[in-house]
A = this chain, B = another copy of it.
Amino acid sequence: MEAWITELQKELPANQIMTALADRYSYSFDASFGEYLPEVVVQAKNKFQVVSVLKIANTYEIPVYPRGQGTCLSGGPLPVHGGIVLDLSQWPEAINVRADDLTVVVSPSTLTANINKAAEKHGLMYAPDPSSAHVATIGGNLAENSGGPRGLKYGVTKDFVLGLEVVTPEGEIIRTGGQTIKNVTGFDLTKLLVGSEGTLGVITEATLKLIPKPPRIQTVMAVFDDVRLAGRAISKTLTSGVLPSKMEFMDQACIRAVENFQPAGLPVNARAIIIIELDGHPEALKIERKLVEEIMRDLGAKDTVIPESEEEAVKIWQARKQVSPAIAKIKPTKVSEDATVPRSKIPDMMDRMQEIKEKYDVEVVVFGHAGDGNLHPNILCDKRNQEEMARVELAVEELFQAAIELGGTLSGEHGIGTMKAPFMESEVGEAGLSMMKRIKDSWDPNGIMNPGKIFAEKGQKLVLRSEP
């Protein structure tokens, strides 16, 4: 037995340390690509155990990969260099709503959807709503700065974090930010840590902001015969004075996939639909609903649909949530992207996706959070087909290039992880990447926290193919 494993066994209960191959195998993958076996899995259940693990890992220079429920789409929790997977999902869930402060304090293992449920009991809302909210932990959301449909109006995870408790790579407990809405006391470590993908420390507690829950919501679905017209309608709506809470796009392939998977009555002959949610006072919603219907028709929608009941509205949104599982049925492998462009460039990005699809003869379906330029082109393929996957790799690379050329970014909400690390320099430049690396090196001199993520290794390339 290695000395560092013996040390871990001295500090933590035996049933929280796993070394058997079957256990380690369960932690070797996430929802992205690649499989890597860790040497040990540690299930930490409180901050002192995290401190113990990090101190030992730092002393012996063993990599540590924090992990929640493993739903990451960019490889965040993958133990690419062996070492320790630090599973935080077994930590007891804790949700402490402070209604008078409009805040909530949560443990890292809390499922995101449960935070919103707890807030609703007080007439409040935790706005970030990643599609994985029912299965993913807030710890993972914080590490990746998760988005979601409501990001359009309310912002993403980062916009709702007031303070953190964090264990540094050297095993010190620090508190960042606090409990107040405004705070300019020194550098904003909170917003640096949120979205740092577990490369700077382990988040052990978070204080989140809540807002009053809007009194009513109103759904509108707009049906288009032309994808480009839909793209224009999206980019134009937001300059018309209305700020919807959600504005989601689905192309024909997605519509049909959902109708085959779990029929919801979507218009299968439409080339694209836009599903919009407005929220606010009932009186204001009546006015905004009419306005949105007018805009959609003016910009070429052949139809707009207003659900006749709340159940019908729920059904439409349920259909949107089913896109990801539904398209996964079409082909064995799904490469889910989230390159994001400025809103006015949505129609151009749609053209580029069409070109890329034809050029590399790959199957691309598109859906996503169109209102903030954050589309999800998904390439459907079969990872056992090496020749096809080689074309997919080229298509993905060109997709990234297109987004950057249009003034956009590699990732709107999924993170960089292992998958996009090789493309970082093309977006942020050599000097920009070096300033990020300086922070990393100053916080984690031994490089133990989630190595192999964000920062590419020399010569690293996008690889979606299995090892030959």
* Interface residues of A, Cβ cutoff 8 Å to B: 98-103, 122-124, 144-145, 147, 151-152, 155-156, 158-159, 168, 172-176, 178-189, 191-192, 194-196, 211-213, 215, 235-236, 238-243, 280-281, 283-284, 286-288, 340-345, 369, 372-374, 407-416, 420, 424, 427-429, 431-433, 435-436, 438-443, 454
Contacts and interface: CB of A to CB of B under 8 A. Distances in A.
Assembly stoichiometry (copies): 2
A412 B373 contact: no
Contacts of A281: 280-281, 283-284, 287-288
A146 B334 CA distance: 44
Nearest to A213: B241
A370 to B, nearest CB: 11
Contacts of A144: 184
Q: Please name the 7 residue pairs, one residue from A and one from B, whose CB atoms are nearest each other, closest first.
A: A100-B344, A283-B283, A182-B412, A281-B284, A284-B284, A438-B442, A191-B191
Given A179-B407, A243-B211, A431 B187 contact: no
A408 B98 contact: no
Nearest to A237: B212
Nearest to A176: B432
A416 B284 contact: no
A283 B235 CA distance: 27
Contact of A342 (B155, B180, B439): B180
A186 B374 contact: no
Nearest to A408: B180
Contact of A187 (B180, B195, B242, B427): B195
Given A284-B280, A410-B185, A438 B429 contact: no
B182 A413 contact: yes
A184 B415 contact: yes
B239 A124 contact: yes
A109 to B, nearest CB: 22
A185 B411 contact: yes
A7 to B, nearest CB: 22
Contacts of A102: 238-239, 343
Contacts of A155: 159
A182 B156 contact: yes
B435 A182 contact: no
A8 to B, nearest CB: 23
A174 B435 contact: yes
A431 B241 contact: no
B436 A189 contact: yes
A55 B196 CA distance: 30
A302 B357 CA distance: 68
Interface centre among A101, A173, A181 (most CB of B within 10 A): A181
A240 to B, nearest CB: 8
A398 to B, nearest CB: 18
A431 B184 contact: no
Nearest to A144: B184
